[in-house]
Each structure stands twice: as structure tokens, then as C-alpha cells.
Amino acid sequence: MKTIKTALFTALMGATALAAGPTFAKDLRIALQSDADVLDPDQSRTFVGRIVYASMCDKLVDITPDLEIIPQLATGWETSADGKSIRMSLREGVVFHDGTPFNAEAVAANIERSQTLDESRRKSELKSITSTEVTGEHEIVLNLAGPDATLIAQLADRAGMMVSPTAAAAAGADFGLNPVCSGAFKFEERVAQDKIVLTKFDDYWNADAIHFDSVTFLPIPDTTVRLANLQSGDIDMLERLAATDIPQAQSDSNLVVDSAVSFGYQGITFNINNGDKGDNPWGNDKRLRQALSYAIDRNALNQVVFEGAYAPGNQSFPPNSPWYNSSLPVESIDLEKAKALLAEAGYPDGLDLEVQVPNSTEPLAVMQVVQAMAAQAGINIKLTSKEFATLLADQSAGDYTASQIGWSGRVDPDGNNHPFVTTDGGINDSKFSDAKMDELLNGARVAPTTEERKGLYDEAMTLMLDELPRLFLYHVTWIWAYNDNMKGFTPYPDGMIRLENVTWEE
């Protein structure tokens, strides 16, 4: 008994000492909502994995908070007149964490790996590259099957992350167990579901902008526990603060809350023509889908479920995106119009709609509010809650009428549209097919200037809101909370945590 007492006492004293102790060699501790999957940019799929890469793996290009593409490992790029090749100049004096020099050969090897590794998830992103030519130590030419306006933006994410060709060749598909990139921090250790530790890379090309000795990422799934850890000082920063916890975080004078609207979306996808279940009133008649859209008060939805922290939306881009079609603002609720459309479609007394929804708190809350709103117009929504893997399988197999689902978003507008609504789109679970839509979205892929592309997307969005194979509801806002000793953090719409020029001031 006495020993236990002594142990308890020592433990408590230790805790007090720790809580008060200052930190010099600063290890930045960041809590993530879930554990990352395999740490190989060519194989990984999770959002949190990308947060880890933001500190560990540099990309050919990066984005600004306004979605402009800027140099990172590539210092410049130029598209040929026919749009069929891109000449890229590369940063000099860059080395990978294992000492392998970064050069044109390394870029060529990386592109080859992304395109040919059996396990690669990046194949579709780099499909347009047919070959690479090393034209100098720090210059490479990418030959394309045809003009591809989306390619450079792809290189601003995992497809553009450069891994050490030496390490990749040696490890093959097991590269993720010990990743070697060229970013500001190098991989130190990982304990599954516990932590991922990165330490500062002294030979980093931009080492002067890095002010932490190490970064530890800790997966803490429960939002309340994540915030409690931040308030108790066990962590320095957390990502994805729950919207409902914002007031609590803001009331703590030691914390800072920052946010950025993501470029993804959440909405309802309809089964238009996917198997037998596509043959239903909701899939057959766009007026019903329009009626549902008019019955939803998107601003109220945002207020009720997210305390107004998210961005109400009606397009595949958020209203603050440069690609948003501003001539089609978020409609206000119009129950008369909704009822008129239902009557016109032959359902003056309303009708039923079954929507499958992931069985987690947020989507369920959103759909319950939508259900109540739709009921006012006579639409009787029945919610079927499913575990995510099941929902996805049913949606892909066409075993659904409507599905509450979202998309994490891509830098280039193509990624938020083309795969979902073009006839041969890879994830067109609606099996929506419209010749005009195909023409517009295929055209936007090859159009040479941003202005021309914007025109095509504006037109596509007009058509999209008329047809509504996807009905958009809102855009998630990334919310970070961090200790106010941390200075210089910039929120980005991609939800990443970039540590360049971030400092710690006690």
C-alpha cells in the first residue's frame, strides 16, 4: 500500500513539473482526427496522410491560399504551343533525406513509379503523360497524349511528391514503412495508432524557414478529447475542431482558432441510370430533384448543424472559389416553387425518397434537418444509415436511389466534376450521361487559357444545376485550433498544415 501511495505521489509531482516546464528544443505536437494509412505518396489515400506529407515530402509545385500554382521543387514550367509537352526547370541544390540528389532523373523515376507501380493510386492522375525526356541535370520535358490543363494542379498534390528513387527502388511496395522524401522534416518513427515522428532535415533547401526540431503527429479521433489535450497543453495544435466546439476554444485565451473553406463539397448524389434502381421517379425526372433543391434552406442548415461555421453551397466549388459561377448564387428556400414543380411532375401530393447516409454524427444531423425541410414541400425522406464502406459499395453497384456523400475536392476544377458527371467518368455512380456536359467538361480539360476554362465551367454549372445529378448542400470549413505561442500559421483551403515560417514564441 505504501509503495502505491509513493508511486501515486511521485506521478502527480511529475505531472505538475511537466505542466509548468518550458520547452527549448521545440517538438511541435499536432493532433490528427485519424491515423494515416501507408506513408507512400503513390499508395496513400487518406487526408491525414497528406497532412503528414506536407511536412515530409516536397512536391513539384504548391498552391497559394488563393489556389494559384507556385513553384516548389520545380522552379518554372512552360507548355509548348500545341499543348503536347511541358518543359520544367528544377530547383538546384536539393537532396533527398538519404542524400540522393534531386534532379531530372529523379523526377523521371518518380513519374514512372507513379504510373507503373502495381499498388499506385496515382495512375489516373498522371494518365496524360506519355513519356519523359531528361534534357539537362535540372530540366525535364513531360510529353503528353494531348493538351491537359489539369496536369500542373495534379502535381501540387501526391502525384507531384518526389520520393528518393534510391530508397523507392530498394523498398518497392514497402516504401511506406520507411519513407524517404526531400521535405523539411524526415521520417523518424511510427507507432501505428499512436504517433508519427518527423525530425528536422538539416540539408533542406529552405531550412532557414523551419523553426521546429521535430514534429509529432498524434491521431486522436474523439473531438472532445482532442480539444481537451490542447487545453491541457499536451498538444500544440489540432486539425478539424468540431464546429460546435468553436465557442469553447475561443473562450480559452491561450488558444487561437483559424479556418479556411475547403474546395470539396457535401451533397446528395442521385441514381439517374445506374442499374434497375436508376429507373425511379427521382432518377427519371429532374423536376423532382429541382423541387428538393428549392425546399432546402442551405443557410439555415449551416446555422443549425454547424453553428454557421461552414459555407452553404449550391455548386461543386465553394462561393469563394475563383471557379464559382457567381451568376448562380445559393437560392433561398422557395416552397411554392418546390410544390409547383412536384405538381408539374405529377406528384401534387408529394412523394417518398430514400436517402442512404453514412452512420456518423455530422451526416446524420445534416440529413435529419434536410428531411424536416423537405417534408414542408411534401417530400417524405426516409433515411437509411449505413456504415461508410457499405454505403460506398451500394452506391457504386447502383443499389440506391439517393446517397448523402461528398468529395474532398481537388485544386483543379476538373477533379470536382469530370469523374462524376461525364459519361465515362471513373466515379460516375449516378451514371449520368449528357452529350453537352461531356463536351463542356472534356473541352475544359484541354482549353489553353484560364478564361476559356472558366467560361466552360460556368456553362457546365448552369447545366448541372438544371439537371442536378448531384445536389450540393455545403462546403466543409477546415478549422484549426492551436496554442497562441505558435505564430505565423496560414490556413489553406486544402486543409494542410504548412510549417514554413511558423515559429514558437514562449
Residues in touch with other proteins (CB under 8 A): 1, 4, 7-8, 10-12, 14-16, 19, 35, 37-38, 43, 45, 118-121, 123-125, 173-174, 176-177, 191-194, 218-222, 224-225, 228-229, 231-234, 386-393, 396, 407-408, 419, 426-427
Q: Which helix (H) or strand (E) is 455 found in, with range?
A: helix 450-467
Instruction: Find the shortest distance in angstroms from Cβ 18 to other proteins.
Output: 8
Instruction: Find the shortest distance in angstroms from Cβ 218 to other proteins.
Output: 7
Instruction: Find the shortest distance in angstroms from Cβ 149 to other proteins.
Output: 18
**Would you say 10 or 380 has its CB closer to other proteins?**
10
Instruction: Find the shortest distance in angstroms from Cβ 125 to other proteins.
Output: 8
Question: Hunting for cell 454524427 — which residue is that?
Answer: 361
**Would you say 256 or 338 has its CB closer to other proteins?**
256
Instruction: Find the shortest distance in angstroms from Cβ 194 to other proteins.
Output: 4
Instruction: Find the shortest distance in angstroms from Cβ 31 to other proteins.
Output: 9
**Would you say 15 or 169 has its CB closer to other proteins?**
15
Which of 176, 184, 180 minimizes the C-alpha distance to 214? Answer: 184
**Would you say 350 or 406 has its CB closer to other proteins?**
406
Cell of 90: 528544377
Could you tell me how many residues make up the chain? 506
CA of residue 430 relative to chain centroid, distance? 22
Cell of 368: 435529419
Q: How many CA atoms lie within 13 A of 41 on its CB side?
A: 34
**Would you say 116 or 135 has its CB closer to other proteins?**
116
> What's the CA gap between 51 and 36, in Å, rounded?
9
CA of residue 391 relative to chain centroid, distance? 20
Q: At CA 261, angle to CA 259 and CA 264, rounded to 5?
A: 140
The amino acid at residue 450 is T
**Would you say 15 or 207 has its CB closer to other proteins?**
15
**Would you say 241 or 379 has its CB closer to other proteins?**
241
Residue 237 burial (CB count, 10 A): 22
Instruction: Find the shortest distance in angstroms from Cβ 365 to other proteins.
Output: 20
> What's the CA gap between 290 and 298, in Å, rounded?
14
DSSP secondary structure letter of residue 40: -
User: Edge-to-edge, what's the strand order for the sheet holding 85-90?
Assistant: 74-79, 85-90, 139-144, 129-136
Which of 85, 36, 420 minimizes the C-alpha distance to 239? Answer: 36
Instruction: Find the shortest distance in angstroms from Cβ 61 to other proteins.
Output: 20
**Would you say 239 or 297 has its CB closer to other proteins?**
239
Segments in 279-400 forming alpha helices (H): 281-284, 286-295, 298-306, 335-344, 361-377, 388-397
Instruction: Find the shortest distance in angstroms from Cβ 193 to other proteins.
Output: 4
**Would you say 280 or 408 has its CB closer to other proteins?**
408
Which of 49, 45, 54 minimizes the C-alpha distance to 35? Answer: 49
